[in-house]
A and B are shown apart, each in its own frame.
Chain A
């Protein structure tokens, strides 16, 4: 038998392992191994309750409030908006009612759901994982199939532990070669989205491959997979390897002992086999990637820091031209302006894209011995990351440099907790979306890596971080 079967992609293997029912009309009832829940899942719990349906597998469901909690306090009673307070306080109550484990506010394990899952060893290679949040693609960094769903499907998973799915197409994005000094997973994914477009991955599961990807840490891989959705992809994934296993080993919910050995053997069989066919292949040259900055209102509007704001008139596609014109008007930018000449009013370092320990270390390396010249926030991804950073003295570096060191949460990535910018304020942000109004009405968001954000904080404008290193 061996050798005669068609070589399979990692996605195909994981998909095949989770088929509960295959219908003749092409739809599959797919089993969900892990369901992550956050404070925004409030309405799904309510719907389940109103229909008097039991949550099927509380042992496979984990919750953490993150979206609505302010990051200057850990007291729920400090939440001034009564609707937001209800969303946050209800999660622990719903958890107790249904048996779902909740890492509540005040628990050091609390944090952003896409940081907490991997940190606790809930995210594992080979599994299927869903969450009512589009950045669930983050978890694919471990070689699992992870994607975001809406509130109705959250209710569906609570009730059945399954989802109806049509098998998506596959796209492999290969980045080979060494990444330059100061180039991070964030720059790689912005370069990829600039190349394929914000809808380039629609209908596909993306697999990232190549030596540049292999060379990324798990944090870098999570950043990369996190923004798969910004390129339209349903999910992003990277084959597990020693870096993956080292990250997972010993985490609270990861397998132990004989179970670990058995799991490891299964995981090592996951990677895409030689000769497996993808529906689409895209390649980028790693050494060509520079620190990236977005200039517009779609993540595809990204250029290298040494580039200029492009001229909409140069776009051949009329829809693209009109979109860019509108975007530059919103952003208050003129075509031809060097990115390095754009000054910023504020800096946000955080979000499920870039709030992990490596991100915070990278920002600290730039902040050390310098002074922030604009208001700058550091929002760690979890209580555990905050503790770890403090143990390494990073909070001291930031405070000495005039940065604000805050509690864990989604914070200014989307401002659901009230932490937003002012109209026309220009923010260098390590988050994932530069949409119109995303960080507050009229706010102008530029997406960058943590090191680039820190460089903007200490210079007041977009500065090539490579010039501030060593």
Chain B
């Protein structure tokens, strides 16, 4: 199958951008996008990212929340504490971040389903050791508006302190991100294998 047939997303190569620190562990998907907004069309959902952390009851912004501080407003990278986006499978947790402009997330660990959902949408989730993430969080809080460079081909994160860290990514995921591969189109290319499996498997028959 050719690349033209399987490419649908914008490929991810490299991003240099302001990074916003979410310095908490276990930020769950209910906080990223509360359930009460999930039936909204995607464009109407976008403003509700981090709704209850970000806004008061009357809709006015909470000045202390990082995304309401002007230095971070144009962030395209999120740096967060461990077990980021744990909880529900709602893929909107990725798409509301993406619609805000976030292209990559850096954390020590993630909710498993969110991690997979990121790749489905071309958002790059990066795992770095907790000590390094905590260092980055401190830098970003002390120097609001500082930038980070995420480079997928070389698998490196360049921090505002000039330190470069290598991150691991499966070659399958890396290739799909770099080429903007649409997994459905790619899998449909394996039709003969799927049909053969269905012939030989007992559990695939009801």
Please report A residues at the B interface, Cβ cutoff 8 Å.
17-18, 20-21, 23, 25-27, 29, 31, 33, 40, 51, 53, 57, 59-60, 68, 81, 83-84, 86-87, 124, 126-128, 132-134, 148-153, 155-156, 159-162, 164, 166, 198-199, 202-203, 229, 232-234, 253, 262, 266, 297-298, 319-320, 322-323, 326, 414-416, 420, 433, 435-438, 441
Q: Taking A150-B116, A160-B188, A199-B86 as contacts, is the C-beta distance between A33 and B31 under 8 angstroms? A: no
In the complex, the answer to whether A156 meets B26 with C-beta atoms within 8 Å is no
In the complex, A426 Cα to B20 Cα: how many Å? 33
Who on chain B is nearest to A255 by CB?
B206
User: What residues of chain B lie closer than 8 Å to A53, measured between beta carbons?
Assistant: 184, 188
In the complex, the answer to whether B206 meets A134 with C-beta atoms within 8 Å is no
User: What residues of chain A lie closer than 8 Å to B198, measured between beta carbons?
Assistant: 31, 161
Q: How many residue pairs at the A-B interface have CB separations less than 8 Å?
A: 178
* Interface residues as binary, B88-128 with A (CB distance below 8 Å gives 1, 0 otherwise): 11110010000000000000011111101100110000000
Q: Select which of B34, B113, B130 is within 8 A of A134 by beta carbon.
A: B113
In the complex, A33 Cα to B28 Cα: how many Å? 30
B60 proximal to A (CB < 8 A): no
In the complex, A26 Cα to B173 Cα: how many Å? 11
In the complex, the answer to whether B28 meets A152 with C-beta atoms within 8 Å is no
In the complex, the answer to whether A20 meets B197 with C-beta atoms within 8 Å is yes
Top 9 A-B pairs, shortest CB-CB distance: A152-B120, A83-B39, A150-B91, A150-B117, A199-B83, A151-B91, A27-B172, A134-B89, A148-B89
B82 proximal to A (CB < 8 A): yes
Who on chain B is nearest to A266 by CB?
B202
CB distance from A415 to the nearest CB of B (A): 6
Can you identify 23 A-B contacts, CB atoms within 8 angstroms? A29-B187, A29-B190, A51-B184, A59-B206, A60-B206, A68-B39, A134-B87, A150-B114, A152-B117, A152-B183, A153-B120, A160-B188, A161-B194, A162-B187, A166-B170, A198-B83, A202-B109, A232-B111, A319-B81, A326-B24, A436-B30, A437-B31, A441-B52
Who on chain A is nearest to B53 by CB?
A436
User: What residues of chain B lie closer than 8 Å to A20, measured between beta carbons?
Assistant: 190, 193-194, 197
In the complex, A161 Cα to B57 Cα: how many Å? 44
CB distance from A27 to the nearest CB of B (A): 4
Please report B residues at the A interface, Cβ cutoff 8 Å.
24-26, 28, 30-31, 34-36, 38-41, 52, 57, 81-83, 86-91, 94, 109-114, 116-117, 120-121, 130, 134, 170-172, 175, 183-184, 187-188, 190, 193-194, 197-198, 201-204, 206
User: What residues of chain B lie closer than 8 Å to A203, measured between beta carbons?
Assistant: 112
In the complex, the answer to whether B201 meets A40 with C-beta atoms within 8 Å is no
In the complex, A84 Cα to B36 Cα: how many Å? 10
In the complex, the answer to whether B87 meets A234 with C-beta atoms within 8 Å is no
In the complex, the answer to whether A164 meets B113 with C-beta atoms within 8 Å is no
CB distance from B133 to the nearest CB of A (A): 10
In the complex, A303 Cα to B103 Cα: how many Å? 39
Q: Other than the known A199-B86, A433-B88, A435-B30, what 9 A-B pairs have Cβ atoms closer than 8 Å?
A: A31-B204, A132-B89, A148-B89, A155-B184, A159-B187, A199-B109, A202-B111, A319-B81, A433-B87
In the complex, A33 Cα to B88 Cα: how many Å? 23
Q: Taking A25-B172, A27-B170, A438-B30 as contacts, is the C-beta distance between A156 and B183 under 8 angstroms? A: yes
Q: Select which of A133, A150, A156, A437 is within 8 A of B34 by beta carbon.
A: A437
User: What residues of chain B lie closer than 8 Å to A155, measured between beta carbons?
Assistant: 184
User: What residues of chain B lie closer than 8 Å to A25, measured between beta carbons?
Assistant: 170-172, 175
CB distance from A174 to the nearest CB of B (A): 23
In the complex, the answer to whether A60 meets B204 with C-beta atoms within 8 Å is yes
In the complex, the answer to whether A26 meets B172 with C-beta atoms within 8 Å is yes
